[in-house]
Structure 1
Amino acid sequence: MKPNDENGKLPTAARPFRVLILSGSNRREYNCPGVDAKSRTLMLRMADQLPPEWEIDYEDLGNVYSRARIQSCNACVSTSMALCVWPCNCYAKDDGDEPDLMWDLDLYSRLDLADAWAVIGPINWYGPSSTLKLMFDRLVCMNGGNPREDLIEHKNPERAMALERSPEWRDLTRNHLEGRTAGFFCYGDEGGDEVAPDGRPKVLRHKAWFDPDAEPFEDNRDAYRPLVRQCRYSGIEVPDELWCHATTGAGLPYADNQAEDMVTDAKFMAAFDAWVGSFAAFVGQKGKVEPGEYRAYGYEAPGHRMADLKLKWRELRMSAGRAPAGSSPAEQQAEGLNRDATFSPKTGEGEKLRS
């Protein structure tokens, strides 16, 4: 059935089971590729195969011209775990300055509402698509993120570092989406028709620089291992049987390996359908998951106008080489470690070198 977000307000026992399916390719026909990705076809096929009494939510993360993209993670957690807020407060819904697809599509809420996630995507350069990598980077906050931004004045690094060092932090940090299940189905073409019989790219001139015996994976599903490990690290169950890879289009020109070609590849489609069947059987038997204490569903970000003014004052002081006393930026400035006191932070280092 179609998803009804109002069911998120019901007790777990009273609401339907819910799955979120994600198409993780960058391609959409409404941008320069001009053609939809195979992952979109697979997403829709999976949605049609799952039990009709389940709520089936799905989303295509492909790049649409002039639509927001998933913004990159700013790595707040590397300053302090307490600076990484759950759900992410680096960006906001309908933000004109830094539009973000994660917020515009309510993905934090939809991931929270779902009992299980199904992630379908291509292998791009021995790894997941950049879109999926961006999304999972932005999910660092589900693993121990701070659910109380009021305790750190929205984004005050010094307050966050102090909170992380305090006993109070141990009562706040947790895996906010723990207990759910994730399945991953990735696919590739083994280089299409670009690879010569010796295992090297046909157009490569410096052939000695490429060792065909040094491929990084024995099993190509390992291209998605970082995402699987992140989920498991965060308390999201990823059973081995729900982490799969299949090949389609090997030896073919890319132009001959589109969704309409993929669906004629009986071996590939059988592998995908088997994965869908295993996914449905596993999550159906496991059942619904109780929500965490701090939910992304129904979350409304608090106002932070005064906090923003304080942070702007902090930024101006750092620009003038007068970072807050005792702060990490002050120590770095004093020791000449960052050389970053500037009133033009948007200016690239290369431009500075050439001025």
Structure 2
Amino acid sequence: MRPDDRNGDKPIDERPLRVLVIAGSDRRQYNCPGVDSKARAFMLRMADRLPAEWEIDYEDLGNVYGRSIIRSCNACVSTSMALCCWPCNCYGPDDRREPDLMWDLDLYARLDLADAWAIIGPVNWYAPSSNLKLMFDRLVCMSGGNPREELIDHKDPELAMRLERSPEWRELSRNHLEGRTAAFWCYGDGGGAEVGEDGRPLVLRHPAWFDPAREPFADDRDAYGPLVWQCRYSGIEVPDELWRHQEFGQDRTYSENQAEHLADQPGVYAAFDGWVDAFARFVGANGRVPAGRHRAHGHQRPAHRWQDLKLAWRDRRMRLGVPRAGSSPAAQQEQGLNHDTGWNTHRSEGEKLRDPRTDRRPDEKR
């Protein structure tokens, strides 16, 4: 059945089981690829095959021209775990300056509402697609993120560092989506007719530099290992049988291995349907997952204009080379580590290096 977000407010025994299926390819026909992805076709096939009494939510992360994109994680957690807020407050919905697809699609709430996730995507250069990696990077906050941004004045690094070292932090930091199930179906194009009999790309000018025996994975499903282990680290179960890889399109060009060609390739749909059925059995047996204490569903973003003004003053001080006393930027400046002052923060290091008017680093010999 179609998803009804209002069911997320009901007691657990009064709502249907809910699944979120995500197509993780970067391709969409409404951008320069001009053709929809196989991940999208698999996503829709899965939605039709799952039990009719379940709520089936799904989303295609492919890049649509003119639409917002998934913004990258700013790595707040590396400053302090308490600076990484749940759900992410680095960005927000309908933001003109930094439009973000995670918020515009309400993905934090939809991931929260689902009892299980099914992730479908290609292997791109021995790794997940860019959009899947971006999405999971932005989910670092589900693993211990700060659910109370008012304690750090929205985004104050010094307050976050202090909170992280306080006894209160132990109660706040938790796995916010723990208990759910995630499954991964990744696939590859089998070389796209680019690989020779010796396992090397045909167009290499220096074949000795490429040793096929040293390619990263014995099992190509391991390309999605970082996403799988992030889930497991965050208390989300990924059963080994629900983490699979399928290769198809061997000896075909990429143009001959589109979604419309899947039915012509023996075993592809049978393998995929087997994974979907295994997912349905496992998730059905697990049942519905209790909501966490701090939910993304129904989350009300607090106003933070005054806090932003204070952070803007902090920013101006750093540009002028006068960071807060006792802060990490002050310590780094004192030790001569980063040389990161100046009014124009958009100016790149490459521009500075090429500008004869720019002062050299203090420790550089003249």
TM class by smaller structure: over 0.9
Q: How far off is 1:263 after superposition?
A: 2.5
CA distance in 2, matches of 1:173, 1:165: 12
User: Match of 1:38?
Assistant: 38
User: Match of 2:340?
Assistant: 340
Scaled by the length of structure 2, the TM-score of the pair is 0.97
CA distance in 2, matches of 1:211, 1:249: 23
User: Match of 1:173?
Assistant: 173
CA contact (8 A) 1:112 1:296 kept: yes
User: Match of 2:81?
Assistant: 81
CA distance in 1, matches of 2:190, 2:78: 36
Provide, for residues 115-168 of structure 1, a one-character-per-residue CA deviation record: whole Å limited to 9, x for no partner: 000000000000000000000000000000000000000000000000000111
Q: How far off is 1:36 after superposition?
A: 0.1
> Secondary structure of 1:226's match?
helix
Aligned pairs (5 A) from 1:216-255: 216-255=216-255
Aligned pairs (5 A) from 1:1-355: 1-355=1-355
CA distance in 1, matches of 2:181, 2:10: 21
CA contact (8 A) 1:189 1:251 kept: no
Give the superposed CA RMSD. 0.5
Q: How far off is 1:266 after superposition?
A: 2.8
CA distance in 1, matches of 2:179, 2:228: 14
CA distance in 1, matches of 2:174, 2:266: 44
CA distance in 2, matches of 1:50, 1:111: 18
One-letter amino acid of the counterpart of residue 15, structure 1: R
Paired residues in the alignment total: 355
One-letter amino acid of the counterpart of residue 131, structure 1: N
> Secondary structure of 1:216's match?
coil
Q: How far off is 1:244 after superposition?
A: 0.3
> Secondary structure of 1:190's match?
coil
Of residues 172-181 and 335-344 in structure 1, the stretch that sits farther from structure 2 once superposed is 335-344
Q: How far off is 1:215 after superposition?
A: 1.1
> Secondary structure of 2:21's match?
strand
Q: How far off is 1:192 after superposition?
A: 1.5
Q: How far off is 1:268 after superposition?
A: 1.3
CA distance in 1, matches of 2:196, 2:50: 41
> Secondary structure of 1:263's match?
helix
CA distance in 2, matches of 1:144, 1:32: 38
Runs of 4+ in 1 over 2 A off after TM superposition: none
> Secondary structure of 2:67's match?
coil
Provide, for residues 6-31 of structure 1, a one-character-per-residue CA deviation record: whole Å limited to 9, x for no partner: 10110011000000000000000000
CA distance in 2, matches of 1:267, 1:181: 26
Provide, for residues 70-93 of structure 1, a one-character-per-residue CA deviation record: whole Å limited to 9, x for no partner: 000000000000000000000000
Q: How far off is 1:189 after superposition?
A: 1.5
Provide, for residues 181-212 of structure 1, a one-character-per-residue CA deviation record: whole Å limited to 9, x for no partner: 00000000222100011111100001111001
Scaled by the length of structure 1, the TM-score of the pair is 0.99
Gaps of 5+ in 1: none
CA distance in 1, matches of 2:140, 2:111: 13
Seq. identity, %? 68
CA distance in 1, matches of 2:266, 2:46: 16
Q: How far off is 1:269 after superposition?
A: 1.1
CA distance in 2, matches of 1:251, 1:79: 48
One-letter amino acid of the counterpart of residue 227, structure 2: L
